[in-house]
Amino acid sequence: MLPSDTIESLKKTLRSSIERHEIAGANLMVLQRGQELFYHEDGLADLESGRPMTRDTIFRLYSMTKPITAAAVMMLTERGVIDLFDPVSRYIPGFRNPMIEQGGQLAAAVREPDLRDLLNMTSGLVYGGEDAAGRHAEALFRELGSRLHGEQPMDTLEFAERMGQGPLAFEPGSNWMYGTSADILGAVVEVASGMRFGEFLRREIFEPLGMADTGFWLPEGKRERLAKTVQQDEKGGLKPYEDDHLGIIHRMDREPAFESGGAGLCSTIDDAAKFTTMLMNEGSLGSARLLKPRTVRQLTSAALNDRQQTSFEGWHSLAGHSYGSQMRIMTDPGQAGLLGSKGEYGWDGWLSAYFANSPLDKLTFLFMVQKRDAGTLPVTRKLRNLVFAAL
């Protein structure tokens, strides 16, 4: 158990955030050595109907999908199915002969991006921007969105193929930039495994771990448990947000053609805890072993060289961290703007789902929220500071 004063402070801090209309509601969980130390829910899962948050509320993970995709890639790596130095074009032909923008003109890149570049966001793929690579990505996402509910939706492989046909933002390996790399990794898993990406995740990760409420869409019987998303209104309060984003069907009410390895999954806090505990256990949960210990250590290690790290350090709120395999890794707690330990890793999502695993402390922190464009919220840092200070 956490100390009683810490528990009281956690509940008070979360309630204060809700009362200030920073969030509508949340689920919070702390585990140590795989055992639950604390769980708490507060606020609303549906602002309009007044439906409260419950332990089985389902959340859209958005970018908290990325570490699951990375785990799938490492499963294929340790099985000898793929090599992390394979060029992406071995699986997605559109990535052959990539171009980069130099002085407003397109020129041939020195080399193709490889799978390791995708894992570590050093591929040159971006989500958007004013350069040629950014404009290409934004146009592709617009087309993905325009076809999302039509008769010919864009699927995982078409998206990857089309993304590969556009220019890269920089020479592969020369820089770090957050982008669509994990979506391409999902397509690589699909090609390398011979099954749809979602089917691979279901068979190889979700079923072995007992993650029964995790997937790319929800059957009818589970949809009433999906949390509604909120956004700030013009008066300092909250209002509903229901638009599709990054090719994700917001209602999660049909099997998508595009299974986004970067943003597409939904899950509960208990399901997420099974995945994070598997990583803390160096690849196993109960009788299921998904990865070998050495593979997990590789998966959760900082991977950026000095030049790439310089680019990553532009992410001000992640001072004291590096990056690897679709996750932040704390490398210098003294420089970080929050309490934690060296070697801690995790990630968050566009709607604020968040996890942190600290191997040194044997601790997992999970916080599930649904707020538009929020990422790691101030309340997330406040809550985890309370937890780490109590250890």
Quote the pLDDT of residue 29.
98
- How many of the other CB atoms lie within 10 Å of CB of 143? 15
In Å, how far are 24, 39, 216, 265 from 261, measured between CA atoms? 27, 28, 10, 8
Quote the pLDDT of residue 1.
86
How does pLDDT run across 324-363, given as a tens digit for each residue? 999 999 999 999 999 999 999 999 999 999 999 999 999 9
Q: Domain 4-67+198-389 falls in which CATH fold? A: Beta-lactamase (3.40.710)
4-67+198-389 and 73-195 share one fold? yes
Instruction: Give 101's strand partners.
Output: 106
The Cα 122–Cα 106 span in angstroms is 19
Q: Domain residue spans in the chain?
A: 4-67+198-389, 73-195
Quote the pLDDT of residue 211.
98
What residue type is assigned to position 276 of the chain?
T
The Cα 389–Cα 391 span in angstroms is 6
Per residue of the chain (391 residues), what is the pLDDT tens digit? 899 999 999 999 999 999 999 999 999 999 999 999 999 999 999 999 999 999 999 999 999 999 999 999 999 999 999 999 999 999 999 999 999 998 889 999 999 999 999 999 999 999 999 999 999 999 999 999 999 999 999 999 999 999 999 999 999 999 999 999 999 999 999 999 999 999 999 999 999 999 999 999 999 999 999 999 999 999 999 999 999 999 999 999 999 999 999 999 999 999 999 999 999 999 999 999 999 999 999 999 999 999 999 999 999 999 999 999 999 999 999 999 999 999 999 999 999 999 999 999 999 999 999 999 999 999 999 999 999 999 9
Quote the pLDDT of residue 357.
98
Question: Cα 382 vs. chain centroid, distance in angstroms?
Answer: 21
73-195 sits in which CATH class?
alpha beta
∠12-15-20 over CA atoms, to 5°?
120
